[in-house]
Chain A
Amino acid sequence: MKKSTKILLGFLFGIIALFWFYPFIIVIINALKGKRGIFQNPLWFTRDFTFSNFKTAYQALDFTSSFFNSLVITVASVIVITLVSAAAAYALSRVKGPFSSILYYLCAGTMLIPFQSIMIPLLSLFGKVNFLNRTSLVIMNTGLSVSLSIILFYGAFQGVSKTLDEAAALDGAYPFKTFVYIIFPAVSPMTGTVVILNAMKIWNDYLLPSLVVNKDGMYTIPLKMYSFFGETNSQWQLALAGLVLSMVPIIILFLLLQKQVMTSVTEGAIK
């Protein structure tokens, strides 16, 4: 390729990227303005410049509390999902038999069911026993995520040689010990994938939390953002500052773990 074409192409790609990134830019720019600045020109900076929206939005979103709710729910769910599905997948990969195949097909089959097709009975089931809180949300997140996680782990455990298990057994280790100390650590890249995929999904989820923990003191970030947006009444500067605050944690985390996140997402889709 000639050098001039190369530069031209680079320029073109740059423009496409800028265009793709512009929605983020426009949100940040207008979060730094007063109401008047947004009205004058929402497309770029105006002389109206302020940081005060962030403070107001932070308080209105009760951000400390929403952030910790989101964090606790996500971390708890991800831990339970990872342990439960890794254990099950290990047993499936080591013991072949009718029960294992049934379980495998159960996982593959339940992955087909859209959440919207079970949400009404699920809610009435938990509502009847008055069990709608952060704990039940963690239980539901687990139930909705173990199927895919088992299938992902299953693939990874298949790749770990059974001679490792046998060697451990000869040394007198019980299967539980073999699993915890030898086999589970051997699939840590897949554990990373399972953790990242589920964490992203649960952190961003709105529909299920809106049905289960839509009450004071239990709001997650997306829930609080939704109700805050309704209250701001087209005071866009506040809504946008709230959006920036809500996006910052996940974007920072992504920039730190970029490579791992992209590999995980690809693996989750292709498997």
Chain B
Amino acid sequence: MLIKKHQYLAFVLPAVFFILLIIVVPFLIGIYYSFTDSNGLRSSFIGWKNFEVLFQDSTFLQSFWLTVKFSFVSVILINLVGLAFALIVTSHNNRLTKSLRTIFFMPNLIGGILLGFIWQFIFTSAFQAIAAAFHLDFFKGWLSNPSTGFWGIVILFVWQMSGYIMLIYISFLNAIPKNTIQAAVLDGAKATQIFFFIQLPQLAPAFTISLFLTLANSFKLYEQNLALTNGGPYRSTEMISMYIYNTAFVNFQQGYAQAAGIILFLCVTIVSFIQLALSRKREG
């Protein structure tokens, strides 16, 4: 053994310290909190009460359901757009496709708050101008209506994430041996046949990765939600992260908010285990 015990500890202990202090300890305290009526100053143990009330709290249920709906829609759209982009930029290798790659990826560099403000301007001012110029009511008042407000967040998120997911698909598309495709072309395969019979099957692991990455990210979405609609009108576009934040730091029901946080954790964990099981099954 080259590394002695005390040396080993010197290497790993800083990391252990940070993980325990910032994640494990708060997580354990959090589990306890979720069984209390803490308001940040004082708290007493109330058993399962928070969870019982949560499942009858229409604001919570609405934000939870909205998050599920949002995740479902955005996962599908982001993966479709991301895959389409990946196919576009890998179709040729020239200066155009290189700059396309940059452009498609660029929104991913910008933080959620800034993204929210950019799109707030588009959905209010720019859409208003389009509505006035072409007499299209479709473009009116997007953020003052619960349903278009919802789609506004979806559009923003698709714009942000598609370029990211594109990169994952690109790396799997590039891993397909060039001569497989050349052979298919020589045999007279059409572009659609190449896509469905050669590329698509090779992309299976990319689907799993991308699907769950988008799912996890959309479940945790907060900043875009805050800067674009701030949950409005009337908390109708408030997703679960914002619900937790507002309950804890605006209404000071910290124990209750923490119970919602535990539910969020359980959802993310279940989703991750499904992913793990799926990719294990494929490898095995």
- Residues on A facing B (Cβ under 8 Å): 9-10, 13-14, 16-17, 20-21, 23-24, 26-27, 30, 38, 41-43, 84-85, 87-88, 90-92, 94-95, 99, 103, 106-107, 110, 112-122, 124-125, 139-140, 142-144, 146-147, 150, 165-166, 169, 174-176, 178-179, 200, 203-207, 211, 222, 225-226, 229, 236, 239-240, 243, 246-247, 250-251, 254-255, 258, 262, 265-266, 269-270
> Which single residue of chain A is at the shortest CB-CB distance from B162?
A20
B244 within 8 A of A: yes
B195 within 8 A of A: no
| Contact yes or no, A120 B22, CB < 8 A | no
Q: Give 9 A-B contacts (CB < 8 Å), ordered by A residue.
A: A103-B12, A103-B15, A113-B23, A122-B22, A207-B245, A229-B227, A255-B102, A269-B164, A270-B171
| Contact yes or no, A251 B8, CB < 8 A | no
B95-117 CB mask vs A (1 if < 8 Å, else 0) is 01101111111111111111001
The answer for the CA separation of A136 and B150 in the assembled complex, in Å, is: 35
| Contact yes or no, B209 A118, CB < 8 A | no
| Contact yes or no, A116 B245, CB < 8 A | yes
Question: Which one of A23, A26, A139, A258 contacts B21 once the chains associate, using CB atoms below 8 Å?
Answer: A139
A128 to chain B, nearest CB (A): 10
Interface segment, B50-58, B69-77, B196-204, B259-267? B259-267
| Contact yes or no, B118 A112, CB < 8 A | no
B14 to chain A, nearest CB (A): 5
A166 to chain B, nearest CB (A): 7
> Which single residue of chain A is at the shortest CB-CB distance from B104?
A20
Main secondary structure of the interface of A (DSSP, over half): helix
Chain B residues, Cβ within 8 Å of A266: 167-168, 170-171
Q: Most chain-B Cβ atoms within 10 A of its Cβ — which of A143, A146, A175?
A: A143
| Contact yes or no, B121 A27, CB < 8 A | yes
The answer for the CA separation of A205 and B226 in the assembled complex, in Å, is: 13
| Contact yes or no, B159 A23, CB < 8 A | yes
| Contact yes or no, A143 B22, CB < 8 A | yes
Given known pairs A91-B8, A222-B114, A269-B209, the reply for A118 and B23 (CB within 8 Å) is yes
| Contact yes or no, A20 B159, CB < 8 A | yes
A165 to chain B, nearest CB (A): 6
A87 to chain B, nearest CB (A): 5
The answer for the CA separation of A27 and B100 in the assembled complex, in Å, is: 20
| Contact yes or no, B15 A84, CB < 8 A | yes
Chain A residues, Cβ within 8 Å of B105: 262, 265
| Contact yes or no, A94 B2, CB < 8 A | yes
B125 within 8 A of A: yes
| Contact yes or no, A10 B111, CB < 8 A | no
Given known pairs A114-B264, A222-B114, A225-B117, the reply for A269 and B213 (CB within 8 Å) is yes
Given known pairs A27-B118, A43-B130, A112-B268, the reply for A20 and B103 (CB within 8 Å) is yes
B48 within 8 A of A: no
Chain A residues, Cβ within 8 Å of B241: 116
| Contact yes or no, B254 A120, CB < 8 A | yes
Chain A residues, Cβ within 8 Å of B261: 114, 116-120
Chain B residues, Cβ within 8 Å of A222: 111, 113-114, 223
Chain B residues, Cβ within 8 Å of A85: 15
B234 within 8 A of A: no
Chain B residues, Cβ within 8 Å of A270: 168, 171, 209
The answer for the CA separation of A103 and B130 in the assembled complex, in Å, is: 56
| Contact yes or no, B113 A226, CB < 8 A | yes
Tell me the chain B residues, 228-284 only, with Cβ under 8 Å from chain A: 240-241, 244-245, 248-249, 254, 257-258, 261-262, 264-265, 268-269, 272
B136 within 8 A of A: no
Chain B residues, Cβ within 8 Å of A121: 25-27, 29-30, 33, 258
> Which single residue of chain A is at the shortest CB-CB distance from B261?
A117
| Contact yes or no, B19 A118, CB < 8 A | no
> Which single residue of chain A is at the shortest CB-CB distance from B112?
A206
